[in-house]
């Protein structure tokens, strides 16, 4: 498990519930305040990953992704280039259509829904309770945050962040590294590296 913070602990919970063994947590910071990691070996340097042969272990990308943060993608690319495979994680209560495609290293968390004809790219997070409707194409290294709703045929480029509870209407295209802030509703296509914020009411409460 690479990383030992909030995202890693959610993934560990899912994996342990599926009877999987986590043999080590690799994180520069302490993990002692998270009881889920009790009893698991902890290494503070990424160099420790190379103690484990790529044929013996799978890696889990437990470093999350906030808008335009580079670390998660960097770690994924560094270790896949060295021949390591990242585990694809599907929570037991996620709902994935048999006609959806989930790429290597993607993570669909608790009650995430991926409908028929949808594609989820490598290293992408579909977070708790997010809904990816039919025929969406979600590229690599995205984070679709909790309870975001993507209506049918939404497409995203790499590195897109869609915040919690955001709604993306059908047929919308979102280009690389764009951000949809939490709670926003997106009704038009979004250019690369731009941010769409929720419309705020100007009314004053009296």
* Residues at the contact surface with ligand JB2, assessed by CB under 6 A: 2-8, 26-29, 46, 63-66, 71, 125
CB of 199 to ligand JB2, least distance (A): 24
- Rounded Cα distance between 74 and 127, Å, is 20
CB of 7 to ligand JB2, least distance (A): 3
Nearest residue (CB) to ligand JB2, 3 versus 112: 3
CB of 153 to ligand JB2, least distance (A): 25
Strand partners, 153: none
Three-state DSSP class for 49?
helix
Nearest residue (CB) to ligand JB2, 16 versus 66: 66
CB of 53 to ligand JB2, least distance (A): 18
Nearest residue (CB) to ligand JB2, 157 versus 163: 163
Three-state DSSP class for 14?
helix
Q: ∠ at Cα 132 (135, 66), nearest 5°? A: 125
């Amino acid at each position: 498990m690479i990383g030992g913070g909030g995202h890693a602990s959610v993934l560990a919970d899912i994996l342990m519930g599926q009877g999987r063994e986590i043999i080590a947590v690799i994180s520069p910071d302490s993990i002692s305040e998270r009881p889920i990691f009790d009893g698991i070996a902890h290494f503070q340097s990424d160099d420790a990953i190379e103690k484990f042969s790529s044929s013996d272990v799978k890696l889990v990308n437990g470093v999350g992704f906030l808008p335009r943060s580079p670390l998660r993608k960097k770690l994924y690319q560094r270790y896949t280039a060295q021949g390591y495979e990242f585990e694809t994680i599907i929570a037991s209560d996620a709902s994935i259509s048999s006609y959806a495609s989930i790429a290597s290293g993607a993570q669909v968390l608790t009650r995430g829904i991926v409908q028929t004809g949808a594609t989820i790219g490598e290293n992408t997070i579909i977070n708790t309770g997010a809904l990816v409707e039919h025929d969406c194409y979600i590229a690599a290294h995205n984070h679709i945050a909790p309870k975001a709703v993507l209506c049918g045929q939404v497409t995203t480029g790499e590195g897109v962040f869609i915040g919690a509870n955001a709604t993306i209407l059908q047929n919308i295209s979102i280009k690389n590294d764009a951000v949809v802030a939490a709670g926003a509703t997106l009704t038009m296509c979004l250019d690369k590296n731009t941010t769409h914020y929720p419309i705020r009411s100007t009314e004053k409460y009296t």
